Amino acid sequence: MEGIAQVARRKRLVEAAASLFAAAPYADVQVDEIARAARMAKPTVYRYFHTKEELFFAALEQDLERLAEQIRTIRSDGRTASNALACAIRAMIPAVGGFKAAVSAVEAASGGVQNRGPRLLTKRLRALRGEIAEMIEDGIATGEFRPVNSAIVAMAILGSVRMSVNNAPEDDVTETVADLLLNGLSQTSGSQPHNHGQLECE
């Protein structure tokens, strides 16, 4: 079992790695750089992580957990269900886009033999799906949303986000996915476009 000092050292390494991987392509980040950024000797890095890939996935897991925490905060801070859902979509778009690109890069660098990335993404996105489903249940409970299968709708939202990222501007994806979800496609007299152009999520 790691002691307090070891846990703190490992966290510092992961933070340094996350910062470097966010700023440069995976192949361009070297373990020497991570060691310098964490203010540690290179042999110390290998005491905690055997390879750069291990560090990458530790950093990725940390970022995914932070996204989940952000979604939980959005859900709990007193917003309407519609606003919470739109803000959650906005938070997911850049994050999921970055995760997809990063995992593709590490898969390419490892010759396709490293398959932990897709499994990790699947596991964490499943947890996000649960958070989104609970947001939908909140809206159903207050009468803001009509009764639907929240789990299936949550899957549809995540699927839309995953397919749309990196293919359109983030604001356009946020507005379109939220509008489609909240208003559907039917052109009815009672339906007004759900404009999130000035969406406040802070």
Q: Where are the domains of the chain?
A: 1-50, 52-202
Pick out the chain residues at pLDDT < 70. 1-2, 100-101, 103-107, 109-118, 121, 166, 187-198
Per the CB < 8 A criterion, the answer to whether 105 and 26 are in contact is yes
> Looking at domain 1-50, which CATH architecture does it have?
Orthogonal Bundle (1.10)
What pLDDT is attached to residue 173? 79
What pLDDT is attached to residue 128? 85
**pLDDT tens digits for 113-146?**
455 666 776 787 788 889 999 999 999 999 999 9
User: pTM for this structure?
Assistant: 0.73
**CB-neighbour burial class of residue 150 (10 A; exposed 0-12, middle 13-18, buried 19+):** buried
Per the CB < 8 A criterion, the answer to whether 71 and 90 are in contact is no
In this structure, which CATH number among 3.40.50.150, 1.10.357.10, 3.40.50.10710, 3.40.190.170 belongs to the domain 52-202? 1.10.357.10
**Is 52-202 in the same CATH topology as 1-50?**
no
| φ/ψ of residue 145, rounded to 5 | -110, 150
What pLDDT is attached to residue 196? 47
What pLDDT is attached to residue 189? 45
What pLDDT is attached to residue 47? 94
Work out the mean pLDDT of the chain and round it to a whole number. Answer: 82
